[in-house]
């Protein structure tokens, strides 16, 4: 089984312009192994906005030199 690295997280707070409430926004990064004939790894960038429970993957860099893969949505 593949084992992801621990997530490294960077968070900041900003103020909502309309209601004046504080918003928490976090970026995070992790290494995600890819199972294949020669083990490789991807480096994922994730975002969590406004106190959401989980992360959304935004884009990935692969160690094979390919262009970053951007998540849709």
pLDDT, tens digit only, all 73 positions of the chain: 789 999 999 999 988 888 778 889 999 999 988 887 777 888 999 999 887 889 999 988 888 776 667 765 5
In the numeric block, which tokens belong to residue 61?
Answer: 């860099």
DSSP-based three-state secondary structure for 58: strand
Residue 61, pLDDT score = 87
Q: What span, in angstroms and rounded, lies between the C-alpha atoms of 73 and 65?
A: 24
Give every strand in the sheet of 40-49, ordered side by side. 8-15, 22-34, 40-49, 56-62, 69-70
CA 24 from chain center: how many Å? Answer: 15
């Amino acid at each position: 089984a593949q084992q992801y690295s621990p997530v490294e997280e960077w968070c900041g707070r900003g103020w909502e312009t309309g209601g004046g409430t504080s918003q928490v926004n976090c970026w995070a990064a992790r290494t995600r192994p890819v199972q294949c004939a020669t083990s490789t790894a991807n480096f994922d960038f994730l975002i969590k906005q406004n106190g959401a429970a989980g992360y959304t993957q935004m884009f990935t860099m692969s160690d094979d030199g390919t262009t970053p893969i951007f998540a849709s949505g």
